[in-house]
Amino acid sequence: MTKPRLYIFAIGGTGSRVLKSLTMLLAAGIKPEGETEFEIIPIVIDPHKSNEDLKRTDELILNYQAITREIGFDNGFFSTELSTPDKILKTKTKALGSFTFNLQQVAKKEFKDYIDLANLNEPNKALANILFSGKSINKRGEQIDLLDIEMDIGFVGNPNIGSVVLNQFKDSDEFKEFASNFNEADRIFIISSIFGGTGAAGFPTILKNIRDAMNNKNIDGKGFLQNAKIGAITVLPYFNIEKETDSPIQKSDFIAKTKAALSYYKDNVTGNNLVNALYYIADNYTGKAYKNDPGDGGQKNDAHFIELASALAIINFLEISDDALQTDEGSATCPIYREFSIKRDSTEIKFEDLEIGSEKKISLKLSQLSLFKKFIDEHLKSSKEKQAWSMDAPAIDDKFLSQTFYKTYLSDFLNAYGFWLAEMDLNRRGFSPFALKTKEELEVYIDNKSEEIQPFNPKSLTTFIKDKEVKQGWFKKTVDYSFFDDCLSKEAKGKNYNTAQAKFVKLFFETTKHILTSKFGFQS
Amino acid sequence: MRGNIISILVLSVVILLIAISGFSPIFEIGGLNPLIPVDLADHLRGYDITCSGYFGTVWYQYVGLIMIASTVLFYAIQYHIIDKPTFNQKHHLWIMIAFCMGFNFFIAFIFPYNSLQSGDYCKDLNFSVFNCAGFAFTNSVLCFVFYSLLTSLTIPRKLSRNCSHTTLLTP
A335-372 residue pLDDT tens: 999 999 999 999 999 999 999 999 999 999 999 999 99
Of A455, A494, A269, A493, the residue nearest A369 (C-alpha): A455
**Probe site for chain B from A375, A486, A491, A507 (most B CB atoms < 10 A):** A486
Whole-number pLDDT of residue A152: 67
pLDDT digits (tens, 9 = 90+) for B132-166: 999 999 999 999 999 999 999 988 999 999 999 99
Confidence of residue A5 (pLDDT cuts 50, 70, 90): very high
Q: What is the ipTM of this complex?
A: 0.90
Verify whether the Cβ–Cβ distance B88 to A387 is below 8 Å.
yes
Q: Is the bond into A42 cis (omega within 30 degrees of 0)?
A: no
Among A286-290, A327-331, B127-131, the minimum mean pLDDT is found in A286-290
DSSP reduced 3-state for A222:
helix
Verify whether the Cβ–Cβ distance B85 to A387 is below 8 Å.
yes
pLDDT digits (tens, 9 = 90+) for A6-56: 999 999 889 999 999 999 999 999 999 988 999 999 998 887 777 788 889
Mean pLDDT score, B59-75: 97
* Higher local confidence (pLDDT), A391 or A460: A391
Verify whether the Cβ–Cβ distance B84 to A482 is below 8 Å.
yes
Angle between helices A411-426 and A12-27 (to 10 degrees): 120
In a domain, B169, yes or no: no
**How far apart are the C-alpha atoms of A194 and A255, rounded to whole Å?**
10
C-alpha distances in Å from residue A184, one per residue of A4, A86, A203: 9, 20, 22
CATH superfamily of the A5-106+155-341 domain: Tubulin/FtsZ, GTPase domain (3.40.50.1440)
Whole-number pLDDT of residue A478: 87
CA of residue B74 relative to chain centroid, distance: 12
Output DSSP code: residue A252.
H
Q: Which residue in the set B85, B170, B171 is minimally distant from A489, CB to CB?
A: B85
Verify whether the Cβ–Cβ distance B162 to A485 is below 8 Å.
yes
How distant is the Cα of A392 from the closest Cα of chain B, in angstroms? 8
pLDDT digits (tens, 9 = 90+) for A91-123: 555 444 567 776 666 666 777 887 788 888 888
pLDDT digits (tens, 9 = 90+) for B81-105: 999 999 999 999 999 999 999 999 9
Query: Does position A298 have pLDDT exceeding 80, yes or no?
Result: no
CB A106 within 8 A of CB A152: yes
Judging contacts by C-beta atoms under 8 Å, the chain B residues touching residue A391 are 164-165, 170-171
Mean pLDDT score, B51-71: 96
* Higher local confidence (pLDDT), A182 or A243: A182
Q: How many domains does chain B have?
A: 1
φ/ψ of residue B81, rounded to 5: -100, -55
Tell me the sheet residues that pair with A235. Answer: A193, A281
Whole-number pLDDT of residue B1: 67
Tell me the sheet residues that pair with A8. Answer: A42, A189
Verify whether the Cβ–Cβ distance B162 to A392 is below 8 Å.
no
Cβ-based neighbours of A185, under 8 Å, separated by 6 or more: A4, A36, A322
φ/ψ of residue A427, rounded to 5: -65, 160
Confidence of residue A281 (pLDDT cuts 50, 70, 90): very high
Verify whether the Cβ–Cβ distance B164 to A485 is below 8 Å.
no
Verify whether the Cβ–Cβ distance B161 to A489 is below 8 Å.
yes
Spans of all domains in chain A: 5-106+155-341, 110-150, 359-519
Q: Give the residue on A whose Cα is nearest the Cα of B169.
A: A386
> DSSP characters for B129-158?
HHHHHHHHHHHHHHHHHHHHHHHH-HHHHH
Cβ-based neighbours of A262, under 8 Å, separated by 6 or more: A194
Tell me the sheet residues that pair with A40. Answer: A6, A82
* Higher local confidence (pLDDT), A261 or B162: B162
* Higher local confidence (pLDDT), A145 or A386: A386
CB A2 within 8 A of CB A83: no
The number of residues making up chain A comes to 524
Q: Which residue in the set B85, B170, B171 is minimally distant from A486, CB to CB?
A: B85
How distant is the Cα of B99 from the closest Cα of chain A, in angstroms? 23
pLDDT digits (tens, 9 = 90+) for A64-98: 999 999 999 999 999 999 988 877 666 555 444 56
Over the Cα atoms of chain A, what is R_g? 24
CB-count exposure of residue B133 (10 Å: 0-12, 13-18, 19+): middle
Query: Does position B123 have pLDDT exceeding 90, yes or no?
Result: yes
Confidence of residue A406 (pLDDT cuts 50, 70, 90): very high
pLDDT digits (tens, 9 = 90+) for B139-148: 999 999 999 9
Query: Does position A2 have pLDDT exceeding 90, yes or no?
Result: no
**How far apart are the C-alpha atoms of A23 and A53, rounded to whole Å?**
13
Query: Does position A218 have pLDDT exceeding 80, yes or no?
Result: no
SS3 track for A82-120: ECCHHHCCCCCCCCCCCCECCCCCCCCCEHHHHCCHHHC
How distant is the Cα of A295 from the closest Cα of chain B, in angstroms? 52
- Mean pLDDT across chain A: 87
Which domain, by its residues, includes B12? 2-157
Whole-number pLDDT of residue A95: 43
Percent of chain A with pLDDT over 90: 52
CB B37 within 8 A of CB B112: no
In a domain, B171, yes or no: no
Verify whether the Cβ–Cβ distance B164 to A490 is below 8 Å.
no
Whole-number pLDDT of residue A252: 72
Among A101-105, A282-286, A418-422, the minimum mean pLDDT is found in A101-105
Judging contacts by C-beta atoms under 8 Å, the chain B residues touching residue A386 are 88-89, 171
Those residues of chain B whose CB sits closer than 8 Å to some CB in chain A are: 84-86, 88-89, 160-165, 170-171
CB A370 within 8 A of CB A422: no
pLDDT digits (tens, 9 = 90+) for A183-212: 999 999 999 998 877 888 889 889 998 998
Q: Which residue in the set B88, B163, B171 is minimally distant from A385, CB to CB?
A: B171
CB A136 within 8 A of CB A151: no
Q: Give the residue on A whose Cα is nearest the Cα of B170.
A: A386
Query: Does position A221 have pLDDT exceeding 70, yes or no?
Result: no
Of A395, A222, A234, the residue nearest A306 (C-alpha): A234
Query: Does position B31 have pLDDT exceeding 70, yes or no?
Result: yes
Mean pLDDT score, A467-472: 82
In a domain, B146, yes or no: yes
